[in-house]
Amino acid sequence: MTQPVLICRPGARGDALASLLRSGGAEVEALDVMALEALPEDSATRSVWLNIDQYDKIVVISPFAAECLSEALDRYWPQLPVGIDYYSVGSATASILFDQLGVRVRIPPAASLKASAESERGENTSEALLTLASLKNVSHQRILLVAGEGGRTLLADTLAERGAMVTRLAVYRRVFSPPSAAMQARLRAGDYRALIVTSGELLEHLAKWCDQAALNQPLIVSSHRLATLAGTLGFSDLKVASGATPAALAATLERSCNPKGADVDQGTSLRASDR
């Protein structure tokens, strides 16, 4: 029996990843350990939406944040205010903003909305976004970060250090749950072909059920930052994809977890001794 690839990306993005992996012949099982929930709108959030035209730039951290932003602007601004520059960490988020709001979105230099699986390079990260020239000199600019609860503070901290007046607005929360009994057994036994994780919080959550057998199995992550975290958690067979898109993750699975393609992986393969 073919061992499955385990994924833990929630919602439509998880469905897209699973579909692409299956089209390449992989067996896929979803861990279903995290859900995304929109936060109730309070007076502070409503005030931000009503005064959105006061911001020079809006940075959207994730696809679900983009959906929450799009829904709010559709309710409060039948005609979008002009003069705002939009940014996102990844192309999936940018695509949602373009499709739902019709706005052009600036993304890290290496990313491309029309990139194919063969041409995608680089990492969709906060670090990459901060290299954009238009985010270098932001003194006295008002910048809104639309994100989920928790998460990294690098963008907010760096933009504030560069002189911006930054507002970070949390529009959703991540709700974690234990893996099913069957999935816990798979993790204990390392009974899977590879595990794909694109979130540090998810990785730390899943590590609670990963015994040594799982720690020795291939782990595909979407950035070198996540690979570093995985190493501290005890994972030893790390594969770093060229980004968090389904195409980049699928390419790394195919080329680094397949004996025939191990030498031509688009991403990077690291053992514990290499870090």
pLDDT tens digits, 98-125: 999 999 999 987 643 333 333 334 456 8
Burial code (b: 16+ CB inside 10 Å, e: under 16) for 155-173 equals bbebbeebebebbbbbbbe
Q: What is the pLDDT of residue 245?
A: 86
Cut 0.85: pTM above it: no
Domains and CATH numbers, the chain: 5-33+178-274 (3.40.50.10090), 37-175 (3.40.50.10090)
Q: What is the pLDDT of residue 261?
A: 43
Mean pLDDT (whole number) for 11-28: 92
